Structure 1
């Protein structure tokens, strides 16, 4: 994965679900959410005239980075899920799928880029709730409409 081009690609189309300047989050090794004020971070070899992408690339050498590619909202009574990204999806989930993935609050989903690598994990965050203990959670890979749709959206954003 080309991290720089992937960041650029995601930022170019994230207006539906995130402010492009507050798109990414630092994630601690304990999966806790850190800052998303990338333009205000100092250190990591960042220069004042570095672009957002350049800053994030420098930070990613030392920190895990979460890049959301959309938002999911579950509708409990109907076993449905709305997915908002570059395109919107409305899925009717099986009882098993709904039980495996549903949350009572809306969540951002995307990729966690592991520090100092181009490896990524698909997951979700609970930052929409503005909780102090917000964190990243890996999505369990299953052969289901929900996971396959999320994976399809993510793969469309990754630049090799």
Structure 2
């Protein structure tokens, strides 16, 4: 994965669901969310001339990075999920899929990139709630239409 180009690709179309300057989140090893204000972070050998992508690359050498790729909203009773990304989707879920993946509040979905590597996990975060205990949760891979749609969005955004 070319992380720098992937970040540029995501930032180019993410304003439907998140501010492009607040795209990348630092994630602790226990999956709790750290800051997403990359432009105000000091240390990590960051200079004032560094672009957003350069700053994330420097931070990534020492931290896990989460890049949201869209937002999910679940509608009970209808067993539906609306996915907002660079393209919007409306999915009808089976009761089992709805039980497995749904949450009562909106969730961001994206990829957690392990520090100083190209290894990533697809998952969701509850950062929409602005809670102090917000965290990343890996999505269990299944053959469901829901997971396949999320995986398709991920693959469209990653630049090799």
The unaligned stretches of length 5 or more in structure 1 are none
1:82 match: 82
Taking structure 1 as the reference length, the TM-score comes to 0.99
Q: Distance in 2 between matches of 1:76 and 1:31?
A: 27
Are 1:130 and 2:122 matched, yes or no?
no
Q: Distance in 2 between matches of 1:63 and 1:114?
A: 7
Aligned ranges for residues 6-155 of structure 1 at < 5 Å? Answer: 6-155=6-155
Q: How many residue pairs end up in the alignment?
A: 160
CA distance in 1, matches of 2:13, 2:109: 15
Structure 2 unaligned regions, length at least 5: none
How far does the alpha carbon of each residue in 1:41-78 deviate from its partner, in whole angstroms, 9 at most, with x for none? 11111111000000000000000000000000000111
TM-score normalised by structure 2 residue count: 0.99
Please give the alpha-carbon distance, in whole angstroms, between the structure 1 residues aligned to 2:128 and 2:103. 12
Shift of 1:156: 0.1
CA distance in 1, matches of 2:38, 2:7: 13
Q: Following TM superposition, by how much is the alpha carbon of 1:104 offset from its aligned partner in structure 2, in angstroms? A: 0.3
Q: Which runs of 4+ in 1 moved over 2 A?
A: none
